[in-house]
Amino acid sequence: MIRRGFFLSRLLRFPVLAAPVVTLMLSFSSYFSEAHATPRATEFELKNGMKVVVVQDHRAPVVTHMVWYRVGAADEPPGVSGIAHFLEHLMFKSTEKIANGEFSKIVSRLGGQDNAFTGQDVTAYFQRIAKDRLPIVMEMEADRMVNLRLQEKEVLTERDVILEERRSRTENNPSALLDEQMNAMLYLSHPYGLPVIGWEHEMAQLSPDDALSFYKRFYAPNNAILVVTGDVTPEELMPLAEATYGKIPANPDVKARPRPQEPPHRAARRTELKDPRAGKPSLHRSYLAPAYRGAEAGEAEALDLLLKVLASGSTSRIYKSLVVEAKVASSTGGYYSGSARDSGKISLYGVPADGVSLEALEVALDKVIAEVRASGITEAELDRAKKSYLAEYIYESDNQATLARRYGWSLTVGRTVKDIEEWPDRIAKVSLADVAKVAAKYLDIRRSVTGTLIPASPDLPAEIAGTPPKAMPSNAPAPAAKAGGRT
C-alpha cells in the first residue's frame, strides 16, 4: 500500500504559511500537465512473460531494484497459512551459487541494502545499490527465482524465527490480536480474513515440502514484475534484464488467481477482546469497501478523500468532534486502504477520555458518521483534502524507493501505469456529490465489524491461562495486514 506522506499536510495546519502554500498549489496544474505529457514510467515485457518497468531519476548514481511476485497470503492453500511469508524468509537461504545466508552479506559488501516483505496479494524483494553494481544483484535475484535450495535444517531453523516473529508482533500486542480477530470476522468468505503471518498452530507445522511446492507454483518470470527506479534508462536496463531474467523459462502452470468472493453483508458484527496488557480501552471499527482495482469509476478516489476529511489528523471531523469539542476521546484516527487486489477496507478507532465509557464514545462516533452519511462534507474540507493528497504525491515522487513501491504494488494487483500516473487528475476531479455517494454507500453498519479492546483479565481456557502476559503499553491500532521484512 502506498503510504501517504505528511510533510505538507502538517504545513497546511498553520495559517502563517498560507501564502507560500497557495503559491505551491498554483503550481500543481503545470506540474501534472508536464508529467502527463511524457509518462514517467517506461514498460516492456521479456519473451518469457516477465514485465519490466523503469522509472528514471538521474540525480545520483543509485538505483532501487525490486522484484514483485503476484502471490501473497491470500493465495495460500488451506491449512498452511503463513507459507507465503515463510517462503519470503527462506529466499534468503542458499542456491547452488550462493551459500546459506550470504545473499544479504554480498549486497552489504557491495555497499547496498536489501530486504523483502509479504502482503495479502504480493511478495516483493528489493535492493538499493550503486548503479554499477546493478548487474550483480539482478543476476543474484534471477538465480534465486529458480535455483533456491531448501535444506531441512535451514527450513526448521527459519520456522522458529517466524514463530517468534508472530509472538513478538501479534501475540504480545493486544491491538494486533484484536485486529486479527476483526479481520477474520470482516471477511465472510474471502481469504483476506487470514493473517498474513499465519495462524500459529499452522505455522508450527510448515514443512520443506510445503515451501518448495509453493515456490514451484508461484515463483516464475511470468508471475513477476521487475521495477527499477533511479539512474538507469530503459535502453540500459533491457539487455541486463534479458541476460538475467530473460534466460529463465516461463512456467506454464502459472494460472490466474481464482479466489472466493464475498457474499452480501447483511448484519453488523461485534467482538470484544479483554487483555490486561492493553493499557487503556479502545474502540475499533472496520467497514468492507471496494479497492482501487475493482471500484466503480471515481469511488476509490472519493473514499480516499472522505477518510482524509473524516478521520485523518487533528483537522478531521471525528477528531474535532470527539477530542476537541465533546472531549469524549483522547485520540482518534482512521484511514481507507484501497491497494488490495480484491477489496478494500475503511478503518476507524478511538480511545476514550478518562471517565468516558466505550459505549459513550461509540455513540459519539456513530453520530459523526451519521452526519457525514446524511449531509456529506463541505467544499472547504474537500479542497483541503485534495491539496494535501496532491502535495504528498509530489513529495513522495521525490523518493526513489517510494516510486518503486508505488508502481510495483499497483501493477502487481492488476492496475496499470496509466492508472498510477493519472491518480492526481482523478483525485482533482472528485466532487462533493461523489464523496456523499460513497459515504452513504460504504459507511453502512451492515458492512462493518466493531471491536472493543478492554484492559481486563478474560476468562481464559486452561491451556492459555497458565501463560503469564508480557507488558504491552501501546494502545495504537494494529498496522495494516502485512508481514514485514525479515527480522
| pLDDT per residue as tens digits for the range 272-323 | 999 999 999 999 999 999 999 999 999 999 999 999 999 999 999 999 999 9
Same domain, 238 and 332: no
470 in any annotated domain: no
Identify the domain boundary among 194, 218, 247: 247
Confirm if 192 and 343 have CB atoms less than 8 A apart: yes
Same domain, 217 and 285: no
Could you count the other beta carbons within 10 Å of the beta carbon of residue 72? Answer: 29
Same domain, 229 and 301: no
27 in any annotated domain: no
pLDDT digits (tens, 9 = 90+) for 438-469: 999 999 999 999 999 999 998 655 445 444 44
- Domain of residue 67: give its range: 39-247
Confirm if 283 and 329 have CB atoms less than 8 A apart: no
Same domain, 203 and 268: no
Same domain, 204 and 77: yes
Same domain, 164 and 276: no
Same domain, 243 and 334: no
When divided into structural domains, the chain yields a total of 2
Confirm if 186 and 449 have CB atoms less than 8 A apart: yes
Radius of gyration for the chain, computed over Cα atoms and rounded to the nearest angstrom: 23
361 in any annotated domain: yes
Torsion sign, CA atoms 413, 419, 423, 429: negative
**The three cell numbers locating residue 8:** 505538507
E-only strand ranges, 40-122? 41-45, 51-56, 62-69, 94-95, 113-118
Same domain, 119 and 225: yes
Contacts of 458 (CB under 8 A, 6+ apart): 273, 274, 275
424 in any annotated domain: yes
Candidates 34, 76, 88, 200; catalytic one: 88
257 in any annotated domain: no
Find the CATH number of the domain harbouring 400.
3.30.830.10
Tell how far CA 170 is from the center of its chain.
17
Task: For residue 102, indicate whether it is catalytic.
Answer: no
Residue by residue, pLDDT tens for the chain (487 residues) are 323 222 222 222 222 323 333 344 444 445 454 545 567 999 999 999 999 999 999 999 999 999 999 999 999 999 999 999 999 999 999 999 999 999 999 999 999 999 999 999 999 999 999 999 999 999 999 999 999 999 999 999 999 999 999 999 999 999 999 999 999 999 999 999 999 999 999 999 999 999 999 999 999 999 999 999 999 999 999 999 999 999 999 999 888 778 999 999 999 999 999 999 999 999 999 999 999 999 999 999 999 999 999 999 999 999 999 999 999 999 999 999 999 999 999 999 999 999 999 999 999 999 999 999 999 999 999 999 999 999 999 999 999 999 999 999 999 999 999 999 999 999 999 999 999 999 999 999 999 999 999 999 986 554 454 444 443 333 444 434 445 565 4
473 in any annotated domain: no
Q: What is the pTM of this model?
A: 0.88
The pLDDT, as a whole number, for residue 469 is: 42
d(CA 456, CA 282): 12
Same domain, 290 and 375: yes
Residue type present at position 388: S
31 in any annotated domain: no
d(CA 228, CA 134): 10
How many residues are recorded in the chain?
487
Question: Residue 171 phi/psi, 5° resolution?
Answer: -60, -30
343 in any annotated domain: yes
